[in-house]
Structure 1
Amino acid sequence: MTYKAMDSSAAPLYPIREVSRLTGVNSVTLRAWERRYGLIRPQRTPKGHRLYGRDDIERVERILQWLNRGVPVSQVRELIDQPETVETPAPQMGDWASQRQHLIQAVEAFDSGRLEVLFNQSLALYPVSLCIAELWQPVISQLEERWGDQFGATLQRRLLESFLRTRIGTRIYHANQLSNAGEVLVARLPEDSSGFWAMLMGLAASAAGYRVHLMDGELPLSEFPLAAERLGVTALLLASGHAERSDVIRRQLPRLAEQSRAPVCLVGPIARIRVGDFENTAVAVLGEDMSQALSRLRAMLDADG
């Protein structure tokens, strides 16, 4: 392996928490990349704590570039260890399609044990934003298209809903204990009874460093201004996979945006479906892609000062 961690006498070294903050890759994933695949090799303190140099951080960023191009994590080391003078081959097709199929099969088979394995495995090896974009968003969209009036669809939906609520809620709870960033309230809109898109947004916001209040049930839109005030949140993130009722879109959400101390933002498929309905309102349409939505949110909050 040609890669070597930078000597501590030559440049500053960073603890794993700081590297996670700088790169957006959580500590569990960084450890998995080191132990399972030898992708990074941090230095160690006498007590065994990991320390990373600037070259380690740059290497993590290169790993992310390959993962974002669809290269499976198991193939990344071969690509990034090539000498720079050697032309890097085009990446092979990633294994996301296979993972999506396995996940759908687990839901349709009511296999909660398999769901557990797939959920933990994906989030241990890949950044949360990539897992959501390449695995969970496409799977939920595909399942929602399949379900319709299919026999057993309600049971499948409730199984997945219960599973994600528990796992994502647990991750958010633990992440909130460590976060010093701004707080956001994430909730579903009335017609999105399963809350899938709110849960994914909550997971993405948590991974991005926000302290997240994830509303488990439906909250009347009229009470969101009170929630924003009492919880002290910097933004209200409202999610839905549906078009929602006309009165919600044309009257209630614009009124909520005028009354709330925190910006009212739409995320999930509704942001694509209804993008043209909020042009002359105070409602911020952040988009369907969770990562892009968070980038727009951050820019909006920075601009507001």
Structure 2
Amino acid sequence: MSNPESVEASEADETGRPVGAIVWNVGSVAERLGISPSTLRTWERRYGVGPTHRTTGGHRRYTETDIQRVTLVQALISRGAPPMEAARVAQAVAADGLEAALLEASIDDHGADLDHGQIIDGIIRAARDYEPDRVGALVGGALRRDGVNGAWSGVIAPALIRIGEEWSNGRLGIEVEHIASEVIVGELRAYTRAAGRLDSSGPTIVLASAESDLHSMPLIALEAGLAEAGLACHVLGAQFPAKALASMTANLRPTIVFVWASLPREEDDDMWKVVTAMVPPTTAILGGPGWPQRPDARGHATISVSLESTVARITSLVG
């Protein structure tokens, strides 16, 4: 819980009113606004947006007016503004105009006025500048505006591809890819949670990545897409053993088993044998570029080519 500090009013804030009995340290403001303390310190150091009250002991603390100004910066960045521009705009607003400015900034969703290319540029720029909160705001805004399928195909996947290409060319460090990936996963999971409690008494849907495959983001994106369609599922994560999947399928008899493979897999691969041996009432759906391309060797399994088609296929099978 946020932990404000009580101090005696000793001076007026920029509105001319005495500073109230409550001021806030950086950790409390970070918790209250849902952003990291390091981001607040960066905004203060780089752009001059920060605490203006100084205690008798010399410590700087945020007043309510300071918090409103920081919140405005946060809202403008969430809509796609570069941090420097957001800070400039927020600093130019008089203290008695902050409430109206915040209301105006909150009318549009994050990035609602940006096209996909601008959002992608913003995500890459924010990840390069080590600003995960801004990455999250842009990704979350795209999810709310475009839905999972639209955000994945129009923003998330292209952004990750560009980051990978720029890393390969030496223009970005691997930390940029990690920042972007972790934040995207977090936003997808938050989107799933926002769908509310889903009915898990219906058809059983299982999602997993093949053995030795470290990629779980496609599963998390599919989980979000299914949640958007009102369907609950079990996400088993990356590197799920073939033997365990075979045992689980035999015991649980799920309606759908989706398995992702990024790495190339041969026809003697254990996971390939497990999924191609599945028979009704279980339908196996394979995603990713790693699966063998022989249709006659798939048994009842089908190949999925996109997130949208996978959600549509599963929905049609369980609907």
TM-score, normalised via structure 1 length = 0.57
Distance verdict in 2 for CA 1:171–1:125, change over 3 Å: closer
Structure 1 equivalent of residue 156 of structure 2: 136
Return 5+ residue gaps in structure 2 as ranges: 1-105
Query: In structure 2, which of residues 166, 169, 174 is the aligned counterpart of residue 154 of structure 1?
Result: 174
Going from structure 1 to structure 2, the CA distance change for 1:292 and 1:160 (only over 3 Å counts) comes to same
Of 133, 138, 142, the match for 1:118? 138
Aligned pair 1:281/2:298, yes or no?
yes
Asked if 1:290 corresponds to 2:301, the answer is no
Does the CA-based 8 Å contact 1:103-1:118 persist in structure 2?
yes
Amino acid in structure 2 at the alignment position of 1:187: A
Q: Which residue number in structure 2 is paired with residue 196 of structure 1? A: 217
Of 225, 234, 246, which aligns to 2:266? Answer: 246
- Asked if the contact 2:136/2:184 (under 8 Å) is kept, the reply is no
Aligned to 2:51: none
Is the 8 Å Cα contact of residues 222 and 256 (structure 1) preserved in structure 2? no
Q: How far apart, CA to CA, are the structure 2 residues paired with 1:170 and 1:209?
A: 15
* Alpha-carbon spacing, 1:163–1:230, altered in 2? closer, same or farther (3 Å): farther
Q: 2:207 aligns with which of 186, 192, 208?
A: 186
Choose which of 108, 119, 128 in structure 2 pairs with 1:108. Answer: 128
State how far apart, in whole Å, the 1-side matches of 2:166 and 2:107 are.
36
Number of aligned residue pairs: 210
SS in 2 for 1:246: coil
Which has the higher mean CA deviation after the structures are superposed, 172-181 or 110-119?
Answer: 172-181
Q: Give the partner amino acid of 2:310.
A: A
1:214 to 216, 226, 235: 235
Larger Rg: 2
Shift of the 275–203 alpha-carbon distance from structure 1 to 2, 3 Å rule, reads: farther
Q: Per-residue deviation at 1:235? A: 0.9
SS at match of 1:126: helix
Q: Distance in 1 between matches of 2:212 and 2:170?
A: 20
Secondary structure of 1:279 counterpart: helix
- Matched-pair contact (CA < 8 Å) for 2:192–2:223: yes
Secondary structure at 1:178 match in 2: coil
Question: How large is the Cα RMSD of the aligned pairs?
Answer: 3.3
Deviation at 1:223, TM superposition (A): 0.9
- Compute the displacement of 1:256 (Å): 3.1
Q: Bigger shift: 193-202 or 167-176?
A: 167-176
User: How far apart, CA to CA, are the structure 1 residues paired with 2:193 and 2:248?
Assistant: 19
| 1:224-267 Cα deviation digits (max 9, x unpaired) | 13333555632111123x3423256x553133331576222112
User: 1:179, 1:210 within 8 Å by CA — same for their partners in 2?
Assistant: yes
Q: Which moved more, 1:211-220 or 1:175-184?
A: 175-184
Separation in 2 of the partners of 1:154 and 1:162? 12
Secondary structure of residue in 2 paired with 1:182: coil
Give the distance between the partners of 1:189 and 1:244, measured in 2 at CA. 11
For 2:178 and 2:112, how far apart are their aligned partners in 1? 31
Counterpart Cα distance in 1 of 2:166 and 2:302:
27
Could you tell me whether the CA contact under 8 Å between 2:112 and 2:141 is conserved in 1? no
How far, CA to CA, are the matches of 2:148 and 2:317 in structure 1?
Answer: 22
Could you tell me which residue of structure 2 aligns to residue 29 of structure 1? Answer: none
Percent identical pairs in the alignment equals 12
User: In structure 1, what is the Cα distance between the partners aligned to 2:282 and 2:174?
Assistant: 35
Q: Which amino acid aligns with 2:226?
A: A
User: CA separation in 1, counterparts of 2:119 and 2:188?
Assistant: 19
> Is residue 189 of structure 2 the alignment partner of residue 169 of structure 1?
yes
Once the two structures are overlaid, the 10-residue window that deviates more, 160-169 or 105-114, is 160-169
1:108: how far off? Answer: 2.8
Give the unaligned 5+ runs of structure 1: 1-34, 38-71, 75-93
Distance in 1, Cα, partners of 2:171 & 2:161: 18
